[in-house]
Structure 1
Amino acid sequence: MPPQEPSANRDAKSGGQQPDLSARIDARTRRGRLQMLALLLVCASPVIASYLMYYVFKPTGGSTNYGALVDPQRPMPAVQIANERAESVPLSSLRGKWLLVTTDPSACDEACAKKLFMIRQIRAGQGQDRERIVPVWLIQDTGTVDERLSAAYNEPYAGVRFLRMDAGAVRQWLPAEAGARAEDTIFLVDPLGNLMMRFPKDPDPAKINGDLKKLLKYSRIG
């Protein structure tokens, strides 16, 4: 029987041709994480681009925005809302569109009705981009809504969505200006479900319309 070759010589001859298993696993894990990060960046890039273009790289001659940026971002809370058929659905089901949001109790007063008219008309004023926008009234209780409001603003075409959400959850998600209430203004939510902007009390609809036109121009998402 020929003499056995020393194990050290055998290892040297192999030249490291059998890579370390744990090193291969680590490399594969890092590669998978990088691929996942790249996928997330691709998915979020349209909204990121719109934020950068709107808040950082201003168009030449452009003025500052009218609405106040909500910082830090407030993603949609994991809560249920009731739709027009009294069906319970997640708030997140509204993702995918730009949302113009207002909130009030079911006993909608004159100021409330004015906001409903305003968000409906702002949507209509976006021309071919109007399908990217959904006006929403978050009703804070289970009371009966005046049928005249439903007939005027909740019509199937270009209407405002009448949805019900717990008043406490509404206030946690929609921050009011100092000394004001969430009911005093209109909010803008991006298609990823992030509360993006708050407009001042008694807002100028023409200026809201201008902000929205710029955002829709710079972002093709939603």
Structure 2
Amino acid sequence: MMQQTATGRSYLPILALVLLFGLPPIAGWFYIMNPQWLPDKHKNRGTLILPPRPLQSLTLKDAAQQDFDWRALSGRWTLISYREGACDTGCMQQLLALGQVRRALGADRIRVGQLLIQTSPTARGSDDEPQQLVDASRTLYLPPQQVARFRQLFSLPGIEQRGATYLVDPNGMLMMGYPSGSPKKDILKDLETLLKASRSWTTGANNGYR
């Protein structure tokens, strides 16, 4: 009897380690997928997409007109903006605001990427000057034949796609949307909650972001 008791006690440290390191990622994933269980102060500000939508079926082009590989977003949360035609002054203000959100995350900013999706690069607005300031490495183009697919994937009640901001999870799944003009603090609060909950299962490789 004494030997069995000693053996049982020898497993207690192992069990404690499993609970210590295993429960946080499980709990984090549970709350991400079931935000209704979060306390009110932690509930999402954006419109949650349930179930999240995989984006791999959407074919976008990079600045060199090559097909974009969605695996490039693997391991990081990504803020996506959408504009029809060239990036005008309002578009630039939106990109700058999202850049400020990323910087406000401090060291966690390397776990968050930022992309702009535009319609065909041949479509130009009346003012092309702001377009010259857009980082080509963070810009993707939506071919005309993919517009219907984009509208289907990014359709959310109460959110006009033009000027909206979307959040993609580290697995390339579209999971949240924000209407044009959403307060920066709302996007920041959601990201802080998600980054904290997912800290153990995202690596946040640099990939050129600062």
Q: TM-score, normalised by structure 1?
A: 0.66
Letter in 2 for 1:86: Q
* Aligned position for 1:41: none
Per-residue CA shift, 1:39-94, capped at 9, x if unaligned?
xxxxxx95x643423515435x7342211111222111323322233332333432
SS of corresponding position for 1:87 = coil
* Residue 71 of structure 1, aligned match among 50, 56, 59: 50
Letter in 2 for 1:50: G
* Aligned position for 1:206: 185
Q: Give the RMSD, CA atoms, in angstroms.
A: 2.6
* Residue 154 of structure 1, aligned match among 135, 139, 147: 135
* Residue 52 of structure 1, aligned match among 4, 23, 30: 30
- Cα drift, residue 185 of structure 1: 1.6
- Cα drift, residue 120 of structure 1: 1.5
Contact 2:82 2:162 in 1 (8 A): yes
1:165 aligns with 2:167: no
Per-residue CA shift, 1:99-145, capped at 9, x if unaligned?
10111123233332222122221112111010111111011212267
Highest relative contact order (Cα 8 Å, sep 6+), 1 or 2?
A: 2
Q: Structure 1 runs of 4+ off > 3 angstroms?
A: 48-51, 144-150
Instruction: Give the 5 Å matches for 1:76-91.
Output: 76-91=55-70
Q: Distance in 1 between matches of 2:91 and 2:161?
A: 12
Per-residue CA shift, 1:155-214, capped at 9, x if unaligned?
87xxxx111123333212211333x42114211010011111112331000111111011
Task: Give the 3 Å change call, closer, same or farther, for CA 162–177 of structure 1 in structure 2.
Answer: same
Structure 2 residues not aligned, in runs of 5+? 1-23, 205-210
Structure 1 residues not aligned, in runs of 5+? 1-44
Letter in 1 for 2:191: L
How many percent identity over aligned positions? 29
The total of aligned residue pairs comes to 170
Q: TM-score, normalised by structure 2?
A: 0.69
Instruction: Give the 5 Å matches for 1:1-222.
Output: 46=25, 49-54=27-32, 55-58=35-38, 62-143=41-122, 146=128, 148-151=130-133, 153-154=134-135, 161-166=138-143, 167-178=147-158, 180-220=159-199, 221=202, 222=204
Letter in 1 for 2:131: L
Contact 1:75 1:195 in 2 (8 A): yes
